[in-house]
Chains A and B, each alone.
Chain A
Amino acid sequence: MLIEQCAYANRWRRVSPAAKALFALSGLVASFAASTPMAAVAVVCLLAAVTWIGAGVPVGRYLRVAAPAFFFLATSCLSLAFSLNLNSDGQALSFQLTPAGLQKVDEVSGRSLGALAALLFLVLTTPLIDLIALLRRLKTPEVLLEIMILCYRMLFVFSDAVHDTLTAQSARLGYATSRLALRSLGGLAANLTVQVWQRAHDLHVAAQARNNDGPLRFLEPTFAHTGRDVALAAAGGSVLIALAVVLS
């Protein structure tokens, strides 16, 4: 996963997650506060520049992570830009490009890109395990945290199983035609489904063997300079929000 690689390998890996989350939150607020395209572009550029230059995330990788979201934005904006006229007399349906629609596209795409840049800043600089630790400090229900921890740890186990099964099936021409592909995929998913119970049972036995029946706690990394980082993030975030408000 590209995001995971960046999250562990960027320059701001050791910066307090609370500070990074605060800055990302300010980015979200700023992108919702920016009401003109000019302000939105400024917010997007600033957030992207901080991620590229500050955290040292490669630009190519950044754009590859954002690509699927661009696809969603493009198709949705297409339907925002064109207005559908259901009651025209001659034809049953007619489409027209309206100025109001185009204005809406400007507004929505500016806001979406700003919010996306804020999200990417957070996820490309902060590993998920740090974010889960942050959620624990924010008093998230223990049941949800437990599901998250187990989900995160089992994710890679399942990915590995999927990868191995796909390789074995492909080697036997399991994906040669779309009919075979559906059959192979069904077999793969059924196999994984059974593994859900087997692996959960194994984890349960392992936990019982260690007398664990309560929360799953792990050592959490400590971050030096948390206070300084949070102060810097608050200052940066305020600048971002002020910029969005002033330019609007």
Chain B
Amino acid sequence: MPRPTPDIPNASMADIAFLLLVFFLVTTTIANDRGLSIQLPPPPEALPPDMDVKIQERNLFKIQVNSFDNVLVEGNPFFGTPNELTEQIKTFVLNYGADPNSSDSPEKAIVSYKTDRGTSHKKFIEILDAVQAAYYQIYADNAGVTVKKWLELSSDLNDPENRKLYDLGRKKRPDGTVEIPMALSIAEPTKVGGN
């Protein structure tokens, strides 16, 4: 005589699975480890005390932001979009001495970025993004890749193929120096607005 097989009710299985699914959907955080990367300069104590570098005015591209998030570019109020700023920096860096008021060469060109202690982080990032965009676009053009590809390959330089394109984009010379370094100087903020 066959014994009756015990049955587990499985009508509610879908409900249980849904419950678990909703739990994991809610608790999931997609890890976000992306952002603007910079390298800070060495501490002031580590620099030689008598270091006094003369930089010609023409090789300096000045960006200043005050505590009301108003922007001065080369001493003039700037109301344009970040894209316009990016274009201005690109023409400044790639001047090669053509315009006597702009840079001598990309190697000598320096973007100086000064904020106030009261400047919001949002504005700071917006301008920093525009400056970095200018350089990344130049690099990507030189390497013959899209900007997106450039950002991808420059974060993994252990790959020799990436390293090759990276050096090509920054126009590395055989002696190890770089023709277009990203010379971005973020100055100590002024103390007008804020603690």
A complexed with B: no
